[in-house]
Every structure is written in C-alpha cells, then in structure tokens.
Amino acid sequence: MHFHGYLYRGPGEAIKPFDDARRAGTAEFQTATVPPEATSAWLARPARMIQGTWDDPADAVTWLSQQHTEIAGSRMHLEQQREAPPLEAMTSNALDALTRGNDVVWAWWLRGGNFVDLTVACCPNRDGDGRCPIGRADSRPEAASRRPGESSAG
C-alpha cells in the first residue's frame, strides 16, 4: 500500500452537492479540480492531479502538516478555532488512520470565500476499483483491507 496526496484550493462555491464534476463516471469528473464526492474517487482522476506519492504514511502526514502550515493564517474564523485540536494531535490521528488503511481529509474555509481540501488516499483503496493512477501494483496489508469493526476471524 502507498499513499497519494491531493489538494484543492479554490472557490468554495465551486463545490456543489450532486454536481457531475464531483461524481466519478461523468465526463466532467475527469477534468474537474474540485474534490470528488467520495474520497477514494480521487484515485480515478488523472495522475497529474496527484501532489505527492509516499510509501511511508509518516511522509504523507509531513506533507499534510506542511500544507496546513502554509494556509494557517488564511483560514476563516481563526478566533473560533482556538478550541480545535492542535496540529500535533491532528498529525498523530492522521498517521494512525493511514497506518490502518483509512484515508485522511483536512479541509477549511479560507478568507475570501475560498476553500482548501487536503486529502491523502490509500492506494489501493478499500472503497475503489483497485487501480492505481500511476500504475503501481501494490497490495493492501490484510489489516488495512478490513473495514473498521471487522475482525480477521470473519
């Protein structure tokens, strides 16, 4: 298993519910830059949309942290985010999630009506069709293939 990072930073108004640009299998989906409805659907987008690929989940979390730092001062309602988890807790949770085979999405509204979506998708993904956008043929470790709450005893 490896990890692909995706970034959307643009007008929040472009992210519309039930929009064909966000739904895999539509013509608009392949050229859209807005986040898809399902996190795993990022993997169905063209490889040129990938911002980074990592074998180690810690490297993917480092990328998330760097992106977070870059936009930290641009987020809306900073005064209301004092109660939000600190970056250290967010990175710890993200590392745990990726290690278990779960995708991670961090998203915030930015000043000026923009929106940022940072996604790290596990590849292959338990919710996708198994194809890697860059053609890698990794497999998922058994523990990462189970859905949360499932046991290996079946």
pLDDT value at residue 143 = 61
- Residue-wise pLDDT for 57-72, tens only, equals 999 999 999 999 999 8
Every domain of the chain and the residues it spans: 2-142
Is residue 145 scored above 60 in pLDDT?
no
What letter represents residue 34's amino acid? V
Q: How far apart are CA 14 and CA 34, in angstroms?
A: 7
Model confidence at 83, in pLDDT bands (50, 70, 90)? confident
Cα 68 to Cα 62: distance, rounded to the nearest angstrom: 10
What is the SS3 assignment for 57?
Answer: helix
Q: 57-71 and 87-99 are packed helices; what angle lies between their axes, rounded to 10 degrees?
A: 150
Q: What is the pLDDT of residue 148?
A: 55
In this prediction, residues 14-43 reach a mean pLDDT of 93
Residue 80 to residue 70: CA distance in whole angstroms? 19
Strand order across the 114-123 sheet = 52-54, 2-11, 114-123, 104-109
Mean pLDDT of the region 77-83: 67
d(CA 85, CA 93): 10
Dist CA 52 CA 73 (whole Å):
23
CA distance 131 to 50: 14
144: pLDDT strictly greater than 90: no
Band (pLDDT 50/70/90 cuts) for residue 119 is very high
